[in-house]
Every structure is written in C-alpha cells, then in structure tokens.
C-alpha cells in the first residue's frame, strides 16, 4: 500500500510541476502578443490618459514577474482577477460556463463510454468479419473528420433537412431536464462520434491482444462459450488499458469542446475563450487556458492512477 501511495504522490507531484510550467507558458504567450493591450481594448480613439488609467487598472505598468506571481497566487485560490471589458471577477464570467461545459462533457461521456466498450467487445469477438471491417472503416472516418465538420453535417441532416433537434444549443434558466437534453443533443452527439471511435478501437485492440493468451486458450478448450470467455476472462484483464483510454478521452471531452461549442453557439467555457481572444480580454483567456490545462492534467493523473490500480505489475514494480 505504501508503494502505491508513493506512486500516486509521485504522479501528483509531476502533475503539479507540469501545471506550473504550463502556467508560465500561458502567461508569457499572452505577454508576447504584439500591440498594447489597453490600446487594443479601448480602440484607436482612446486618449493617453484613458489608456494610462486602464493600464493602471489592469496592472500592466508593473514588472512582468510581479504580475505573474500575483496572477499565479490568485489562481491557486481561484481568483483570476477581473475581466478587462466588464470589470467583473473572471470566475463570475466563466464559472457558469465551465459548469455548462462539464455538463456537455458528462452528457457525451454517458453516451460514449458504454457504447464504445460494447462495440469494442463485439468487433473483437467478430474480428476479421464483414462487421469488423465496416466498423473499422466507420471509426477511421469518424476519427479523421474534424469536429466542426461532423457538427455541420449533423446540423444539416438533423436540424435543417429533418428538424428533430435545434441547430443552436441556446440555454436558459428554468429549463426542464428533457428540454436541456434535447437542446444539447447535437453537440453531445458530435463529441460522441469522435471519442467513441477511438475508445472502441482501443477496446478492440486490448481484447484481441488478450484473446491470444494461454489462459484464454485453456478456457476455450474447456468448452466455455465465446461471450463468457470475453466477459469473464478477457474483459477484467483488459480494464487497465480501457480505463486509461476512457480517462484520456474524458480529458478531451472537456478540453477539446472549443470547436463544438463555437459551431453550436453553446454557452460553455470554450465559447467564452474564443470570445475573449477576439476581444483581447486576456484575464479571461489566461483563466480559461489554465482551467483547461488543469483539467487535462488531472484526468491524465486519474488515468495513471486507474492503470496502476488495475495492473498488479504497476502496483508491485520490481
């Protein structure tokens, strides 16, 4: 147990170091952008006094290292400063939108994870058949298609030609759960099509690799049915790579939704990030980028821990 705790703590420490490096990259990437931030926000008609006042308000007249340390210390406690446009706290601007993004990611995950694992088991059992070949072609097509392309195709066929679902995922207070699920179905389905294909192929590969193991051959020689071999013998030992792939795809669902949110005008943190970039609202850009990075690193950590817990060779390294 002590060895397992040490491994988890080591992964956590590496995650924190990675997040620190990413925070430096985010901060200085914004700093290196050309032009004066205050002038860009106020426009060409701003006076020197107005520009100076905004620079004072945003803290742009302080040394870069002071501003970085202030920003980082505030980010640790959830204080990312104030919006350069509205003057509201950044967390008030993106907090609700981040909740919307988490909902969309959870919606897609509930649909994608069981579907991907089930299809992966089926195509592994029916490998080298017509069904397996067709499934491989469809999954490769889905993986190769950009999210925005899939989104527009779904809008064309499920919102325009056949108006089953709304093309714009507009949300409002007081919506019922059924209406919320209906309005967000198309963006969720777009994410499902992308991540299901990857998870299904990895599940198929893990199952097929285990089917060549001696204990699987022994179970077959005993007359165990193919489905029982998969469910009782192969699948439990394939959970380590499957959990790893699922966790990584969940990270993508949260951090890779920017294009999907823009296509469907979904009020999530990805849409807020795009709007902030267009308006040079850099406190929001930095906060959203750091939240995306922290979420991705956290889910990668969960993938590592899940792989350790489900693999005895990782729990008891020599």
3-state DSSP helix/strand/coil % of the chain, to nearest 5 = 75, 0, 20
For 297-315, what is the mean pLDDT? 72
Please state, in angstroms and as integers, the Cα–Cα distance from residue 152 to each residue in 26, 149, 170, 188, 259, following that order: 31, 5, 16, 13, 11
Report residue 21's pLDDT band, with 50, 70 and 90 as the boundaries. very high
For 196-215, what is the mean pLDDT? 82
Q: Give the Cα separation of 162 and 164 in Å (integer).
A: 6
Inter-residue contact 139 to 116 (CB < 8 Å): no
Q: Which residue has the higher pLDDT, 178 or 62?
A: 178
For 170-198, what is the mean pLDDT? 87
The count of other CB atoms within 10 Å of the CB of residue 304 is: 20
Q: Is the pLDDT of residue 185 over 90?
A: yes
Q: What is the DSSP string of 201-235?
A: HHHHHHHHHHHTSHHHHHHHHTT--HHHIIIIIIH
Please state, in angstroms and as integers, the Cα–Cα distance from residue 54 to each residue in 45, 162, 181, 204, 253, following that order: 14, 50, 42, 57, 37
| % of the chain exceeding 90 in pLDDT | 7
pTM for this predicted structure: 0.82
Inter-residue contact 42 to 54 (CB < 8 Å): yes
Q: Is the pLDDT of residue 14 over 90?
A: no
What pLDDT was estimated at residue 3? 64
Report residue 177's pLDDT band, with 50, 70 and 90 as the boundaries. confident
The count of other CB atoms within 10 Å of the CB of residue 192 is: 23
For 43-47, what is the mean pLDDT? 66
CATH 1.10.3720.10 fits 95-311, yes or no: yes
Q: Give the Cα separation of 206 and 237 in Å (integer).
A: 9
What pLDDT was estimated at residue 31? 74
Q: What are the start and end residues of each CATH 1.10.3720.10 domain in the chain?
A: 95-311
Q: Give the Cα separation of 212 and 208 in Å (integer).
A: 7
Closest alpha carbon to 135 in 83, 180, 86, 196: 196
Report residue 312's pLDDT band, with 50, 70 and 90 as the boundaries. low
pLDDT tens digits, one per residue of 209-238: 877 778 777 877 787 777 777 777 777 777
């Amino acid at each position: 147990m002590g060895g397992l705790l040490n491994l988890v703590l080591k992964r956590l420490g590496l995650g924190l170091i990675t997040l620190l490096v990413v925070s430096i990259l985010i901060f200085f990437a914004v700093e290196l952008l050309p032009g004066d931030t205050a002038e860009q926000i106020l426009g060409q008609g701003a006076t020197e006094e107005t520009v100076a006042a905004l620079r004072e308000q945003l803290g742009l007249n302080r040394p870069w290292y002071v501003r970085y340390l202030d920003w980082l210390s505030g980010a640790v406690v959830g204080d990312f400063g104030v919006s350069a446009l509205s003057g509201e706290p950044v967390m008030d601007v993106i907090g609700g939108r981040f909740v919307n993004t988490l909902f969309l990611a959870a919606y897609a995950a509930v649909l994608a994870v069981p579907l991907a694992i089930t299809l992966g088991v089926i195509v592994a059992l029916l490998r080298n058949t017509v069904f397996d070949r067709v499934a491989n072609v469809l999954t490769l097509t889905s993986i190769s298609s950009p999210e925005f392309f899939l989104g527009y195709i779904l809008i064309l066929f499920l919102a325009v030609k056949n108006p089953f679902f709304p093309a714009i995922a507009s949300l409002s207070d007081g919506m019922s759960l059924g209406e919320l699920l209906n309005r967000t179905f198309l963006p969720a389905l777009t994410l499902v099509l992308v991540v299901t294909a990857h998870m299904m192929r990895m599940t198929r590969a893990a199952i097929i690799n285990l089917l060549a193991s001696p204990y699987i051959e022994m179970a077959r020689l005993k007359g165990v049915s193919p489905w029982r071999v998969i469910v009782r013998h192969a699948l439990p030992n394939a959970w380590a790579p499957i959990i790893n792939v699922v966790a990584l795809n969940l990270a993508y669902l949260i951090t890779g939704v920017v294009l999907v949110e823009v296509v469907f005008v979904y009020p999530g943190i990805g849409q807020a990030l795009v709007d902030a970039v267009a308006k040079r609202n850099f406190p929001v850009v930095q906060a959203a980028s750091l939240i995306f990075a922290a979420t991705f690193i956290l889910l990668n950590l969960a993938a590592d821990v899940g792989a350790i817990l489900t693999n005895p060779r990782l729990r008891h390294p020599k």
